[in-house]
Homo-oligomer: A and B are copies of this chain.
């Protein structure tokens, strides 16, 4: 039916030049993306956080997607270990700072950690990745005040330095050829999840996590490990009351929001698992979506911006139809 209509439209266009159709809004481009442009998120990459019900008894669930290799792998391994140990059950959201972050973990900071956690180094905040194909890079060429440039890779927003900006070596300490590598790192956009830490060289374990609930605090890039992003239920964190102590800490224990449980979806019964997909950032649909976000030509707009920052192009997520 849809194909039939499309053919008819094409025929009409061939018969007589029609007036330019209003440009599609980004949401319309995403809605029209073919099933093949959507990528399933593996159950082992999904964390399901169940908060205590709200005052009206409504359930509050937050789903987090963990980053794939090569980024932040020591912390992400720790997070899987902590989830499998049910370590977060009975912990709480401990601080909510307006236009910044909501953070959760053990308020006592004394709960023993499970065995087998890895110690991560500050160096792991960045990763050497192969230089992406130019046609992929060219989809996001707007200037970035925080880095040499930004790009999307396998569904994630990244910033990079070029190889000639910094000395880069491989894992054996050998210099890597400039034509094939760049130094990249994930960026602090709204909803990204990171690892709380104390002063360096402490790099955190992953037991203390936060998510961004305001304007992108990009100054944290390369200074804190990012491990994932909230893909469903962010409003259950972003609309929490702000804490009144320094850094938004809840001053009274009863103000904290109890965490009933955090589980990997892969450990949940199959019927309970969330089934989510992201729009492939390597797809033509995503390229059209990103272009439309940077150049709004749909009816509401008068002046297209002619550019965008990477955090204003959130990667579309949906429930698998």
Q: How far is the CB of A206 from the nearest CB of chain B, in Å? A: 18
User: Taking the complex as formed, is A216 at the interface, i.e. its CB lies under 8 A from any CB of chain B?
Assistant: yes
Given A218-B309, A239-B239, A223-B302 contact (CB < 8 Å): yes
Q: Are the CB atoms of A217 and B312 closer together than 8 Å?
A: yes
User: Taking the complex as formed, is A17 at the interface, i.e. its CB lies under 8 A from any CB of chain B?
Assistant: no
User: Taking the complex as formed, is A122 at the interface, i.e. its CB lies under 8 A from any CB of chain B?
Assistant: yes
**Complex copy number for this chain:** 2
Q: Please report the C-alpha to C-alpha distance between residue A42 and residue B235 in the assembled complex, in whole angstroms.
A: 36
Q: How far is the CB of A232 from the nearest CB of chain B, in Å? A: 12
Q: Please report the C-alpha to C-alpha distance between residue A199 and residue B299 in the assembled complex, in whole angstroms.
A: 7
Q: How far is the CB of A128 from the nearest CB of chain B, in Å? A: 16
Q: Chain A: interface secondary structure?
A: loop
Contacting residues, chain B, for A239 (C-beta < 8 A): 96, 98, 238-242
Q: Please report the C-alpha to C-alpha distance between residue A133 and residue B97 in the assembled complex, in whole angstroms.
A: 36
Q: Please report the C-alpha to C-alpha distance between residue A191 and residue B306 in the assembled complex, in whole angstroms.
A: 23
- The interface size bin for chain A is 35 or more
In the complex, the chain B residue whose C-beta lies closest to that of A244 is: B235
Given A144-B143, A199-B299, A189-B218 contact (CB < 8 Å): no
Contacting residues, chain B, for A235 (C-beta < 8 A): 98, 241-242
Contacting residues, chain B, for A217 (C-beta < 8 A): 312
Q: A122-B302, A214-B215 are known contacts; what are 14 more A-B pairs with Cβ within 8 Å?
A: A99-B191, A145-B294, A145-B305, A145-B308, A145-B309, A214-B214, A215-B215, A216-B312, A217-B312, A218-B312, A219-B294, A223-B302, A235-B241, A239-B241
Residues of chain A having any CB pair with chain B under 8 Å: 55, 96, 98-99, 122, 125, 142-147, 189-191, 199-200, 214-219, 221-223, 234-235, 238-242, 293-294, 296, 299-309, 311-312, 314
A-B contact pairs, 21 of them (CB 8 A): A55-B55, A98-B235, A98-B239, A99-B190, A99-B191, A99-B314, A125-B302, A143-B143, A143-B145, A144-B145, A145-B305, A145-B308, A146-B306, A147-B307, A189-B215, A214-B214, A215-B311, A218-B305, A219-B293, A222-B302, A223-B303
